[in-house]
Structure 1
Amino acid sequence: MKLLKDILYGAGLNAVNGSTDILVNEIRFDSRKVAMDDVFVAIKGTLTDGHLYIQKAIDSGAKAIVCERFPELLVNGVTYVEVADGNTALAVMASNFYDNPSKNLRLVGVTGTNGKTTISSLLYQLFKKAGYKVGLLSTIKIMVDDVAYPTSHTTPDALTINKYLGLMNEAGVEFCFMEVSSHGIHQKRTKGLVFEGAIFTNLSHDHLDYHKTFAEYRDTKKVLFDELPKNAFALSNIDDKNGMVMLQNTKARKYTYALKSFANYRGQVLEAQFSGQLLKINELELWSKLIGQFNASNMLAIYATADLMGLETLETLRLLSELDNVDGRFQYYISATKITAIVDYAHTPDALKNVLATIDTLRTGNERVITVVGCGGDRDSSKRPVMGHIASEMSSQAIFTSDNPRSEDPRAIIHDMETGVEPQNEKKILSIENREQAIKAACQMAESEDIILIAGKGHETYQETNGKRIDFDDFKTVKNLLNSLNK
């Protein structure tokens, strides 16, 4: 148990009714999880308002309430704390509750539309190979050195973040790499964390169902850099037109990386094939197992981060050449009959275009590219026609199918994708609602040397429909189908 007044330090208090010199057991922001002697933080969420559940939390045993406005009825024996912003207060309180664990770590945040998972995961790999104890907070999993934990959000809630950072402290972890989503920044989940550095990858069409405008989406990402301390580093990809925007107001030391522009860390692709690519970074050459311009950019960011954090240059280059692809990121399998199946998380127009462009550079010209792609339900619907256009324009054959329909009708989602197909490409598309059947159709169509791209879900091992998750793994599915069809 911890003193409430210690947990509240720096949380932005406006008013207090009752004593803060009391011991509390846990911090809760979900009233259903409140137990005896907990402190309940009322959060205004996108779907509901925690202030509506204050009495329920008290009935469940909460002895303190943190909220943005006091309820009309104040219960005797309960401490009420009014704060300026509930999300900020929760994040700061979480950090205090777990003894500010980020202060004991060399924490780096990675933000941008694409590349966050690859960069953070490969930085974890690289520093582990260099002999350090390392932590990872990513879309795919949470790692506390060698111990893996599942995760359901790109940026977990503030309590979860600090809980695992605390476990990293206990395990003697020195470095931690963390994906930072726009949702996480907007909902103040990273407030109270001390970052040694932040990396910006790129910005393209995504999450406009949440942020409404591209400018709001961009400016939300920028907050991570605006709040960096002056002894931190800010590393930005200036091949992206928003790269310099991220650095405008930061107090941190500014560094840039690019494949096409003059930058502190400059890269170039010298040679590319399915087995990997030869890269030049600041006049030094290395071979990478990762494929594509986007991965060349990711490798550049990783090299720059390692350099800024003090790793020796030649050792870093050696370790970069040993890094393996991240699950669901241009993960490929070549069948006995030389059909190549590629599974990629590409779920935005820009990511899909990048992957198809990469495939095009690796083709000899005779292979067909068969793309299986869908779009998620209950998410930004404006990108669906764009995804449909890109898939039909850049593929020999495109099969539109379900992704994670969630509460939407998958047929309606597919119809939205079809509206983006231009007349000359209509004969190239096929719509199959069932994802497994869509992948099976692609396998049946493919002949020797052809390439099948399955885009959108990547590392995910489930499909989400009407609130239920069923087991589904794109990579296992296509591999099994190709083998069973003797392809």
Structure 2
Amino acid sequence: MKQLKDILYKVHIEAVHGATDVVVSKIEFDSRKIELNDVFVAIKGTLSDGHDYIEKALNLGAIAIICEEFPSILVNGVTYIRVKDSNEALAYLTANYYENPSEKIRLVGITGTNGKTTIASLLYQLFKKAGYKVGLLSTVKIMVDEQEFKATHTTPDSLTINKYLDLMVQQGCEFCFMEVSSHGVHQKRTEALRFEGGVFTNLSHDHLDYHNSFAEYRDVKKSFFDNLSKEAFAITNIDDKNGLVMLQNTKARKLTYALKSYADYKAQILENQLSGLLLKINDQEVWVKLIGSFNAYNLLAIYGVAVELGIEKMEALRLLSELESVSGRFQFIVSNSKITAIVDYAHTPDALENVLKTIEDIRTKNEQLITVVGCGGDRDKTKRPIMAHIASSMSDKAIFTSDNPRTENPEMIIEEMEKGVEPQNFKKTVAILDRKQAIKTACQLANSNDIILIAGKGHETYQEINGVRHDFDDLKTVTELLQQLNK
């Protein structure tokens, strides 16, 4: 229980109607969760406007309303506060309510198109192995040291972020590693948080259904670094053409990592096999269990962050060598007849190309590569033909199928994908709407030593069709099918 005036610190207030010395129970932006003496924050979302639910919140017992526009009728005994940006207000309100937990934990944010989940998850894993209590906020899950909670967004809403950061502080966590999405930054979910460090991975084609242009997408990412304090560090991949852009206006200490350029943290791939990578990092060799050049970048970022957070360099390398791959990120099984099935979350053109290049580097060329891939519905449509072009040109066979069609017609999604296939690759492609049937076909086509890549969904254990989530797990499905076919 706190007084309203105490949680308004740093909120940009435009007008107040009513008393601010009232005692409030908690903060909510979902009117359905309002209880007696709660604060309701009315947020304008993409699908609905919280201002339409102010009356409902009042009927359920809200004592204060935070909004961008006052309703036409103001109820006596209720405090109304008009703000310029409800998302930003929610961030400061919740940070204040939980007594700014990000200032009591060493918080590092990871942003970029690809690699966020791997870097955040493996940093959590590394620091756990080093003996620390650690928190994780990721696409896959939320971890409060050993306790696991379900994740619903790459970057949760600011209420959820501060709630779990507070729980981490209570449980004695010293570090937290957090994925920072462009949506999260744009919607001010990371506002009011104090980050000790920020990591930039790369930038490629994604989320242009949400951002108006690639430049806007890039600048939203950049704003995360612009807001870091001079006490923080910012580490960026300078092999990416936007890497240095991220550091242009940051006050944080600037650090770089690269495979191809001179950098503070530099790596060279000495060996790349299905069993792992031999890397030379800043002149020290280390064998790691992860595969592919994209993972060499991820591991380099992880090493850099570990060193910047105080882990001794040789110890950081030792811990790096113990790390296990993240669920749904280049996970593979080998069947009885030596068919290798790889499941990867690659759902952007750049990520798909990286995975296919990695397979190309480790294959003998005597086997065929069969790629099963789809594109999500209600998302960036411009990447569909690009992904189909990459899959069909870099595979021996490409099977186009459903990903998470959501509310779109999956046939139309595949038709848009097929526009990217060049004439010489038509014969290599087939469209199979049902994802399980597509994976089964890939298994039937595969012979001993062949490779099957199932891309797009990775760790997800569901398929979303017309707003309903159905149980579906790529790795489980391909494992069972290969066993049934006795392959």
Within the alignment, does 1:197 sit opposite 2:190 as a pair? no
**Amino acid of the residue matched to residue 109 of structure 1?**
G
CA deviation string 1:146-180 (max 9, x = no partner): 00001110001111111100110110000000000
1:5 is aligned to 5
- CA deviations 1:73-121 (Å, max 9, x no partner) are 1110000111121100001101111111111100000000000000000
2:385 alignment partner AA: P
Query: Once the 2 structures are TM-superposed, how far is the Cα of residue 216 of structure 1 from its aligned partner?
Result: 0.4
Match of 2:365 in 1: 365
5 Å-filtered alignment, 1:135-214, equals 135-214=135-214
Q: Distance in 2 between matches of 1:8 and 1:341?
A: 53
Distance 2:354 2:209 in 1: 23
Could you tell me the percent identity over the aligned residues?
A: 69
2:400 corresponding residue in structure 1? 400
**2:255 matched to 1:255?**
yes
1:87-486 → structure 2 map (5 Å cutoff): 87-486=87-486
**Letter aligned with residue 380 of structure 2:** D
Q: Secondary structure at the match of 1:210?
A: coil
Q: Aligned residue pairs: how many?
A: 487
**3-state SS, counterpart of residue 269 of structure 1:** strand
Alpha-carbon distance, 1:461 to partner: 0.3
**Deviation sequence 1:8-31 (CA, Å, 0-9, x none):** 111111221111101111111111
**1:287-316 Cα deviation digits (max 9, x unpaired):** 010000000000000000001111011111
CA distance in 2, matches of 1:392, 1:123: 35
**Equivalent residue of 2:109, what SS?**
strand
Alignment match, 1:57:
57
| Aligned mates of 2:32, 2:415 — CA distance in 1 | 39
Find the residue that maps to 1:402 and give its secondary structure. Answer: coil
Partner of 1:370, secondary structure, is strand
Separation of aligned partners in 2, 1:212 and 1:333: 40
Q: Match for 2:96: what amino acid?
A: N
TM-score (normalised: structure 1): 0.99
Q: Give the letter for the 2:247 counterpart.
A: L
Shift of 1:464: 0.3
Question: How far is the alpha carbon of 1:58 from its aligned partner?
Answer: 1.0
Q: Distance in 1 between matches of 2:365 and 2:52?
A: 61
2:44 alignment partner in structure 1: 44
Q: Residues of 2 paired with 1:333 and 1:344: CA distance?
A: 12
Aligned to 1:16: 16
Structure 1: how far apart are the matches of 2:319 and 2:336? 31
Offset from partner CA, 1:332-367 (integer Å, 9 cap, x none): 001111100000000000000000000000011111
Give distance in 1, aligned partners of 2:46 and 2:444.
Answer: 44
Shift of 1:53: 1.6
Runs of at least 4 residues off by over 6 Å: none
**Amino acid of the structure 1 residue aligned with 2:228:** L
Cα drift, residue 33 of structure 1: 1.6
SS of equivalent to 2:279: strand
Provide the rounded CA distance (Å) in 1 between the counterparts of 2:152 and 2:42.
Answer: 22
**Alpha-carbon deviations, 1:241-289, whole Å to 9, x = none?**
0000000000000000000111111111001110001001110110010
Partner Cα distance (2:53, 2:326) in 1: 41
* Structure 1 Cα separation of the partners of residues 46 and 252 of structure 2: 32
Could you tell me how far 1:212 is from its partner in structure 2?
1.8
Query: Structure 1 stretch 225-234 or stretch 66-75: which is displaced more?
Result: 66-75
Q: Measure the CA separation in 2 of the matches of 1:279 and 1:308.
A: 20
Answering whether residue 85 of structure 2 is matched by residue 85 of structure 1, we say: yes
Q: CA deviation at 1:424?
A: 0.3
**Secondary structure at the residue paired with 1:406?**
coil
Residue type of the partner of 1:242?
N
What SS does the aligned partner of 2:209 have? helix
Aligned partners of 1:161 and 1:419: how far apart in 2? 41
Letter in 2 for 1:407: T
- Partners of 1:51 and 1:484 in 2: CA distance: 54
Deviates more, 1:199-208 or 1:60-69: 60-69
Letter in 2 for 1:341: A
Q: String of CA shifts for 1:158-217, please: whole Å, max 9, x gaps.
A: 111111001101100000000000000000001111100000000000000000200000
RMSD: 0.6
Matches of 2:464 and 2:374, distance apart in 1: 13
**SS in structure 1 of the partner of residue 51 of structure 2:** helix
Partner amino acid, structure 2, of 1:461: T
Structure 2 residue runs of 5 or longer lacking an equivalent are none
| Paired letter, 1:425 | N
Structure 1 SS opposite 2:95: helix
Q: Distance in 1 between matches of 2:365 and 2:41?
A: 59
User: What is the CA-CA distance between 1:139 and the residue it aligns to?
Assistant: 0.2
Range with bigger deviation, 394-403 or 46-55: 46-55
Residue segments in structure 1 that go unaligned for 5+ positions in a row: none
Equivalent position amino acid for 2:100 in 1:
N
- Measured after TM superposition, the shift of residue 137 of structure 1 is 0.2
- In 2, the alpha carbon distance for the partners of 1:169 and 1:231 equals 20
How far the C-alpha of 1:50 sits from its partner, in A, is: 1.3
Task: Show CA shifts across 1:46-79 (max 9, x none).
Answer: 1222112212211211110011122221110000
